[in-house]
């Protein structure tokens, strides 16, 4: 080959490489995120949220040599709950922190490249600590939501604002805590605020500009909309049928917040969002199933229409949000989705049509229902398990108190589970606790707590609250469990190296044998871990990272459980690990 031809070929290769880099994160890259090992582009380590990595350098035989590579502190006094999952791309780690902050960190050295700190107004009303669970990457942008219900897109290289959009009124209780989802060129986001009588919804935007494309409410009776390039709205059909499952005006302040975000499965072409509790908690004020609260909904990306829905807790009276992530996987040649619900039951659902395949408990004590009818898909209620009607007593007094399990913080809450296609098991961070709960009279007031209930959370067992459980979705069997004194509030990751990683409020990041649950490694991070770990490979080196910083809903809402763990220290840092070269 002559020098001139060789030079021309080299120029083409360099130009192609530069063009690919200049294009930034593409739809194809996001679609393949779960398979690629040199980056982490989405919450869930892939839009299906299996949180499984094909990497094997760190495995059951080598994990004992895992040592810190670097640690980075978020700094300042804003050391509240840190629930963020880092993203990795182009030599940078992008990680959000409490109080609507985001950092870009050099992936190799832990050096801060830039920080964006969102200016928050007074009067924000986050329900469950000032947390943020992560960002999304698209093109050369990093996009995240804020506690005053805005979306912010920043330049990945500089941290400068490219666009910023107000989603809703924080004074009415709206906020954003979830990581956005990118699916087929759309930015999909939800809202928080169910405890304030907001209207939960899913929005689709152009990720490059922030322009709205469609909006779908999660309360039956509310209108959906599509938007043209000038931002003009066109009605896109009422969600469900007005007053069918929400009597009177109750659908106007019904909650059903989409506060944990969604997942997307390319094989079905559907996005899946979980919806939160109906408002108020006092279920006597809203007779009926209260669609589409405490549900999983499958959305068409082009129109925003609901293709199917499955309600895990119809007429919820215990704050059993159905927001838990819907993780799609293959079983017996079909595509299913799995959900470990706050109400204590694990659901296996056909991901294409919403038909229930299986449902079984994944915690030991459930009082509100005796089981799930597999033919109808509905719970078999325990009639005495619902808090009493306040109107049946004297005016202004509370209704009859009942003991309910799980507690309203759930058998599983925000902490994501993981699935291994090797073991065919789900690894679920579960909690065993109950509550005394009663209903009270309440009326809606903008920006005011809209509960109509009181509660006190209690541990159920003396020796543990949290338990990491290996769940077989086909049989319903718990293959193994590892108990934990404090409630588990951080997520899980599993790898082809035969490992399961998870964190504890006591401060440890741990690695277990995925087949047996045997503990193989642990490291003390200095504060409670309430975030999910990630892993990636740079060159010849595999890394593992986790955010450390105790907080979240447990110390705020945990009652007797909160008192039990009040010795835990707050913090705010990222820890990155690799195998020792020695």
Tell me which residues are annotated as active site. 319
Cα–Cα dist 287/46, whole Å? 39
Task: Read off φ and ψ for residue 522, nearest 5 degrees.
Answer: -155, 155
What is residue 553's DSSP assignment? H
Tokens of 561: 């459980």
C-alpha distance across the termini of the chain, in Å: 45
Q: What's the number of CA atoms in the CB half-sphere (13 Å) around residue 494?
A: 25
Cα–Cα dist 102/169, whole Å? 22
Count Cβ atoms below 10 Å from residue 78 Cβ, excluding itself.
17
Cα–Cα dist 116/335, whole Å? 40
Tokens of 157: 């290289």
Task: Read off φ and ψ for residue 194, nearest 5 degrees.
Answer: -60, -30
Closest Cα partner for 310 from 339, 344, 333, 278? 339
The residues, any chain, with a CB within 8 Å of residue 193's CB and separated by 6 or more, are 125, 127, 172, 173, 174, 175, 255, 257, 259
Please give the C-alpha separations between residue 449 and each of 174, 195, 400, 540, in angstroms, as whole numbers: 12, 6, 21, 52
Closest Cα partner for 460 from 424, 487, 491, 429? 487
Cα–Cα dist 506/519, whole Å? 16
Tokens of 354: 């919403």
Cα–Cα dist 245/336, whole Å? 28
Tokens of 527: 């504060």
Q: What's the number of CA atoms in the CB half-sphere (13 Å) around residue 102?
A: 34
- For the four alpha carbons of 111, 108, 500 and 37, in that order, the dihedral sign comes to positive
Q: Are 42 and 29 in contact (CB under 8 A)?
A: no
Residue whose structure tokens are 């910083």:
549
Task: Read off φ and ψ for residue 555, nearest 5 degrees.
Answer: -70, -20
What is residue 222's DSSP assignment? P
Residue 71's DSSP bridge partners are 575
Tokens of 370: 């005796």
Residue whose structure tokens are 């159920």:
460
Q: Are 166 and 141 in contact (CB under 8 A)?
A: no
Cα–Cα dist 572/273, whole Å? 29
């Amino acid at each position: 080959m002559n020098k001139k031809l060789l030079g021309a070929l080299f120029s083409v290769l360099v130009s192609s490489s530069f063009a690919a880099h200049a294009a930034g994160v593409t739809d194809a890259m996001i679609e393949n995120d779960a398979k690629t090992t040199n980056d982490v582009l989405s919450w869930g380590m892939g839009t299906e949220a299996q949180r499984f990595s094909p990497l094997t350098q760190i495995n059951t035989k080598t994990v004992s040599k895992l040592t810190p590579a670097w640690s980075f502190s978020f700094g300042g006094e804003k050391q509240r709950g840190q629930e963020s999952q880092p993203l990795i791309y182009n030599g940078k780690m992008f990680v959000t922190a409490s109080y609507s902050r985001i950092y870009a960190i050099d992936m190799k050295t832990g050096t801060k490249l830039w920080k964006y700190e969102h200016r928050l107004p007074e009067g924000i009303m986050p329900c469950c600590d000032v947390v943020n669970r992560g960002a999304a990457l698209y093109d050369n942008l990093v996009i995240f939501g804020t506690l005053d219900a805005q979306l912010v897109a920043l330049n990945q290289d500089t941290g400068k604002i490219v666009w910023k959009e107000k989603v809703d009124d924080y004074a009415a209780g709206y906020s954003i805590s979830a990581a956005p989802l990118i699916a087929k060129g759309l930015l999909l986001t939800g809202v928080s605020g169910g405890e304030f009588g907001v209207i939960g919804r899913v929005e689709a935007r152009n990720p490059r500009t922030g322009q709205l494309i469609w909006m779908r409410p999660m309360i039956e009776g509310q209108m959906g909309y599509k938007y043209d390039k000038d931002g003009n709205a066109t009605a896109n059909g009422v969600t469900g049928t007005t007053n069918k499952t929400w009597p009177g005006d109750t659908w106007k302040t019904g909650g059903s917040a989409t506060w944990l975000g969604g997942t997307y499965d390319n094989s079905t072409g559907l996005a899946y969002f979980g919806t939160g509790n109906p408002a108020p908690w006092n279920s006597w004020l809203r007779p009926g199933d209260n669609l589409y609260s405490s549900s999983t909904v499958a959305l068409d990306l082009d129109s925003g229409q609901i293709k199917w829905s499955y309600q895990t807790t119809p007429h919820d009276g215990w704050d059993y949000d159905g927001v838990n992530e819907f993780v799609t996987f293959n079983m017996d040649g079909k595509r299913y989705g799995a959900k470990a619900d706050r109400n204590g039951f694990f659901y296996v659902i056909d991901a294409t049509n919403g038909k229930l395949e299986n449902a079984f408990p994944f915690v030991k004590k459930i009082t509100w229902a005796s089981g799930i009818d597999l033919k109808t898909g509905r719970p078999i209620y325990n009639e005495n398990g619902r808090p009493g009607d306040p109107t049946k007593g004297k005016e202004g007094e509370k209704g009859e108190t009942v003991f309910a399990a799980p507690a309203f913080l759930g058998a599983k809450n925000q902490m994501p589970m993981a699935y291994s296609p090797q073991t065919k098991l789900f690894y679920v961070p579960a909690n065993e606790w109950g509550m005394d709960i009663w209903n009270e009279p309440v009326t809606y007031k903008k920006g005011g707590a809209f509960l109509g209930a009181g509660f006190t959370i209690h541990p159920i067992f003396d020796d543990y609250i949290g338990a990491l459980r290996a769940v077989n979705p086909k049989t319903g069997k718990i293959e193994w469990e590892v108990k934990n004194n404090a409630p588990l509030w951080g997520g899980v990751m599993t790898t082809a190296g035969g490992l399961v990683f998870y964190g504890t409020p006591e401060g440890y990041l741990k690695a277990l044998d995925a087949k047996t649950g045997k503990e193989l490694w642990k490291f003390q991070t200095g504060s409670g871990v309430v975030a999910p770990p990630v892993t990636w490979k740079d060159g010849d080196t595999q890394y593992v990272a986790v955010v450390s910083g105790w907080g979240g809903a447990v110390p705020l809402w945990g009652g007797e459980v909160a008192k039990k763990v009040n010795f835990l220290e707050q913090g705010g840092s990222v820890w990155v690990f690799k195998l020792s070269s020695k």
